[in-house]
Homo-oligomer: A and B are copies of this chain.
Amino acid sequence: MTPESLRFVSKKSGLAPGTLVHVGAVHEHPHSIRVINYNRHTLENRTIDSIEELLPYKTTDSVTWVMIDGLKEVDNIDAIGQHFDIHPLVLEDILNTHQRTKFEEYTDYLYFVLKVVSLGKGAFNIQYEQISILVLKNFVFTFMEKPDGLFKPILNRLANEDSHLRNAGSDYLAYMIMDAVVDEYFTLQDLFDEQIEVIEDELLTHPSVATLSMIQKIRRELIFLRKTVSPLRELLAAIRRSESALFDERTKRYFIDIYDHSIRIIEAVESYRELISGMMDIYLSSVSNKLNETMKFLTVFSSIFIPMTFIAGVYGMNFEYMPELKWQWSYPTLWAVFISIAISLLFYFKKKKWL
Tell me the smallest distance from the CB of A289 to a CB of chain B, in Å. Answer: 6
Report whether A204 and B209 are in contact in the complex, using a CB–CB cutoff of 8 Å: yes
Q: Contacts A16-B157, A298-B303: A318 and B317 contacting too (C-beta < 8 A)? A: yes
Contact with B along A95-116 (1 / 0, CB 8 A): 0001110101000000000000
Report whether A275 and B220 are in contact in the complex, using a CB–CB cutoff of 8 Å: yes
Is residue A187 contacting chain B, with contact meaning CB distance below 8 A? yes
Is residue A36 contacting chain B, with contact meaning CB distance below 8 A? no
Report whether B197 and A1 are in contact in the complex, using a CB–CB cutoff of 8 Å: yes
Does more than half of chain A's interface fall in helix, strand or loop, or is it mixed?
Answer: helix
Tell me the smallest distance from the CB of A211 to a CB of chain B, in Å. Answer: 10
Out of B10, B93, B319, B327, which one reaches A189, CB within 8 Å? B10
Report whether B263 and A100 are in contact in the complex, using a CB–CB cutoff of 8 Å: yes
Q: Contacts A180-B14, A315-B317: A100 and B305 contacting too (C-beta < 8 A)? A: no
Is residue A268 contacting chain B, with contact meaning CB distance below 8 A? yes
Tell me the smallest distance from the CB of A107 to a CB of chain B, in Å. Answer: 11
Tell me the smallest distance from the CB of A18 to a CB of chain B, in Å. Answer: 7
Is residue A343 contacting chain B, with contact meaning CB distance below 8 A? no
Q: How many residues of A contact B (CB 8 A)?
A: 119
Is residue A296 contacting chain B, with contact meaning CB distance below 8 A? yes
Chain A residues 282-311 with CB under 8 Å of chain B are 282-285, 287-292, 294-299, 301-303, 305-310
Ordered by A's residue number, 21 sampled pairs between the chains whose C-beta atoms are within 8 Å are: A6-B271, A7-B189, A8-B186, A8-B265, A9-B186, A13-B183, A16-B156, A87-B253, A104-B256, A220-B275, A223-B271, A284-B285, A288-B288, A294-B299, A294-B354, A301-B302, A302-B306, A305-B307, A309-B313, A315-B318, A319-B324
